[in-house]
Amino acid sequence: MDLLTFSLHNVFALLQQMSVFLVIAYLFTKSPFFRSFHLHTLHPRTQLLLYFIFSSFSILGTYFGLPINDAIANTRAIGATLAGIIGGPFLGGAVGLTAGLHRFFLGGFTAASCGISTTVEGIMGGLVHVYLVRHYQQHRLLSPAVAFFTTLVAEIVQMIIILLLSKPFDQALALVRIIALPMILANSTGAAIFVSIIRDQRKMYDDLSVFFSAKALKMAEKTVSILSLGFNMTTAREVALVIREQTGVGAVGITDREKVLAFVGEGSDHHVVGQKISSSQTRKAISENRIVYADGGEKKWRCNLSRECPLGSVLCVPLRVDNELIGTINLFEPQNKLFLVTNKTLGEGITKLLSDQILYARYIEQKTLVTTAELKIAQAQISPHFLFNALNTIIAITRKDSDRARDLLLHLANFFRKNLKHTRSLATLEEELNHVHSYLVIEKARFEDRLQLEMDIDSELLALNLPVFTLQPIVENAIKHGISNMLGQGVIRLSVGRESGLVRISVEDNAGNFAQSSRKGVGMSIVEKRIKNLCGEKHGLEIYCIPQVKTIISITVPEGGCKET
Amino acid sequence: MIRALIVDDEIHARTEIATLLAETGAVEVVGSCGNGIDGLKLVNKLRPEVLFLDIQMPVINGFEMLNMVNREIMPHVVFVTAYDQYSLKAFEEKTLDYLLKPVDGERLKRTVAKLQQTIVENRRPVYETEEIGRIPCILGNRIRLVCLSEVVYITTTVAGVHVTTMDGEYFTEVTLKVLEERSRLLRCHKQFLINMDYIKEIILLDGGLGRIVTRIGQEIPVSRRYLKLIKKKLFI
């Protein structure tokens, strides 16, 4: 009875010192190191750090211990066992050995047995680690139950070691009878609580990051469609509204290098769009190309425009695209409100995101520019051969038939006008056919009997929209590489018709020369690219060739035509 | 009057240059045609003094056609082209002149003057020729370009020049002499050229004559004069 009372007293005393211990553990989980440490990949540096931390815990456990009969009832086992569970047998052993040696030098009749048993406890924790990892149970490394039972068994083993190694035996037995229960209970419980503190803290960080990721993603989602239209006053305002809504800051301002592009929130009565940048912090962010932060505490933000301005703190983040500074994003909080660190992080993150989006928008714009430039090239690629041969033909015809010559000149003029003037990206089938007609009338005059034309056009489709300058290059291709290389009579057949939910336009010649130059020429690939850009990826250009018999180049477009982008 | 041949694949281009030439009063157009194969035929037949030649034409172009003309009957050449994509300047020394379409009458007069001068001085046109890679052949109403490596042998008869390949016999306007000069084919008889790659065996006959058996079994006569040369080529 007496013994039990003493034991209970010891249990409470040990639990008490364990509480101190847990406070330290709690503080550890608050350290920046803890945030960056990942259980699954322990780098040597992290291992070393963990070694020091757990060794300190373990040694502290000895110091906080309760001297009983020339021995110390303590919580040393927690550090060693947990080090083993978390870091493996090597780390556990190292921590156990360190704390054990320390205990050994403190002396007493259990010095040797306690020293050895602490090392054994560390290694036991390590064996549990190995077992869990081998059985793909890594998630249980931070399980309080595992920590509890491992420590429980480890402490029992320690008691046995004390009984086996400490002399004299009867004194050891008396000691074990007193300390066994409190130490086993206190250490197991302490380890379990320690682990659950670590686990809860981690979970909290995870939850927080989920929360912030969600916010950031939402902002990304909302801004991406805005910035694809470019970076200007209109889009800047929309972006500023999204940022303010998601972060809840007092005001958001967006500037380019000189002036305010957008300002929403408190103080927008005197922070007006279009004015020169007044904030010295923003100017500093631009001139030094770095983030400038005035937290409202030591560093205050003072409005240079109005004494009445409610704003008191600011975060100015430079907006860089491709290493070039194009403006700033500014998050403000009023004087009576704290600037949240999370908002600071979010502000910096979102700026990076916006940079990427602007870059992407620029890329898309460039891509369209390239296609437009290519169209220009295609248009400019009127073959000089065609032009001079046409003129030569018309001059010859002038002698015999001036009316026909006049008609041909008008067609030539029409052809050139169509080629030179194209401001829109789409044209109706009718316009395209008109262009091709002028071209073909001239080619027919050049080749006369060598060229025969056949047309089969569904007149209901005349209003259909196609990428401008689609048809003529295909027809020209058929003549230049087909008919003009034939000795016999050439036939060009142009047909436009519906075909299972789409419209097919085909140009067929009877030369069958395409196989000889099996790749698509520049002209054809530009036509194909523009159809894909303006009508969708599934549309395009197909080539079918039976050598010496026929070549069919056909394009397909949606039934409803192509749409302006 | 200078006798001229016009080869151009566009009919109006032919009539236009013919009209302009007639206006000079110094040139008589003896013929005109729309492709290089007909052009070759007419050069062989009409022996013109000058050839007004388009470059871009179906199947064989102007350069290729010139390559197949016998040196002895080579006329003076004036290239007439719409667009100077071949940098004709480079050919200026080799050809008599070149004209750009649409042809200017005054410019043509200068060409004709140059032509008259050349003929008076009796300067012969000498054009560098290249090895013939493909022989334009006619089979029925089709033109086929026969690669030299496909040719087994070529023979000339009263009907013309016949090209024999593994899969048929074709007729060509290119003469045996031109083919001998500008290809790897070997003369083995006055009327025969043989592709060495297709020789299976050579049977030696009495009196220094021989007979070639080709890989598909045709027999080709070898005359005394050429047998020695062939033996030499074969290191016999």
| A191-238 pLDDT per residue, tens | 898 888 888 877 777 777 777 777 777 877 777 778 777 788 888 898
A-chain CB neighbours of B11 within 8 Å are: 448
Among the partner residues B56, B58, B102, nearest to A392 by beta-carbon distance:
B102
CATH fourth-level superfamily of B2-121? Response regulator (3.40.50.2300)
Q: Do B148 and B156 contact (CB within 8 A), yes or no?
A: no
- Tell whether A447 is within 8 A of chain B (Cβ): yes
| A265-303 pLDDT per residue, tens | 998 888 888 888 888 889 888 888 888 888 777 778 888
B-chain CB neighbours of A387 within 8 Å are: 82
Among the partner residues B56, B101, B143, nearest to A392 by beta-carbon distance:
B101
Q: What pLDDT was estimated at residue A163?
A: 87
B-chain CB neighbours of A385 within 8 Å are: 56, 82-83, 85
Fold of B134-234: OB fold (Dihydrolipoamide Acetyltransferase, E2P) (2.40.50)
CA distance B117 to chain A (A): 28
B-chain CB neighbours of A388 within 8 Å are: 82-83, 100-102
**Hey, of B10, B35, B79, which one would you mutate to test binding to chain A, going by the most A CBs within 10 A of its CB?**
B10
Beta-bridge partners for B38: none
Beta-bridge partners for A496: A457, A505
Whole-angstrom distance, CA of residue A188 vs CA of residue A85: 13
What are the C-alpha distances in Å from B36 to residues A157, A517, B10, B28, B42?
Answer: 107, 22, 12, 20, 10
Inspect the interface and report whether the beta carbons of A392 and B141 lie closer than 8 Å.
Answer: no
- Tell whether B85 is within 8 A of chain A (Cβ): yes
In sequence order, what DSSP letters do the residues of chain B get, joined into one string? -EEEEEE-S-HHHHHHHHHHHHHHSSEEEEEEESSHHHHHHHHHHH--SEEEE-SS-SSS-HHHHHTTS-GGGPPEEEEEESS-TT-GGGGTTTSSEEEESSPPHHHHHHHHHHHHHHHHTTPPP--------EEEEEETTEEEEEEGGGEEEEEEETTEEEEEETTEEEEESS-HHHHHHTSS-EEEETTEEE-GGGEEEEEE-GGG-EEEEETTS-EEEE-HHHHHHHHHHTT-
- Tell whether A393 is within 8 A of chain B (Cβ): yes
A-chain CB neighbours of B103 within 8 Å are: 392
Inspect the interface and report whether the beta carbons of A392 and B19 lie closer than 8 Å.
Answer: no
Q: What pLDDT was estimated at residue A1?
A: 37
Q: Which residues contact A36 (CB under 8 A, 6 or more apart)?
A: none
| A65-101 pLDDT per residue, tens | 777 766 677 888 888 998 898 888 899 999 999 999 9
Inspect the interface and report whether the beta carbons of B10 and A392 lie closer than 8 Å.
Answer: yes
Please tell me which residue of chain A has the smallest CA distance to B36. Answer: A487
pLDDT at A36 over 60: no
| A324-371 pLDDT per residue, tens | 888 899 999 888 888 877 778 778 888 888 888 787 777 777 777 667
The domain limits of chain B are 2-121, 134-234
Q: pTM of the predicted model, to two decimals?
A: 0.57
Q: What is the mean pLDDT of chain A?
A: 84
- CA Rg value for chain B: 20
ipTM of this complex prediction, to 2 decimal places = 0.86
Inspect the interface and report whether the beta carbons of A445 and B11 lie closer than 8 Å.
Answer: no
Inspect the interface and report whether the beta carbons of B15 and A391 lie closer than 8 Å.
Answer: no
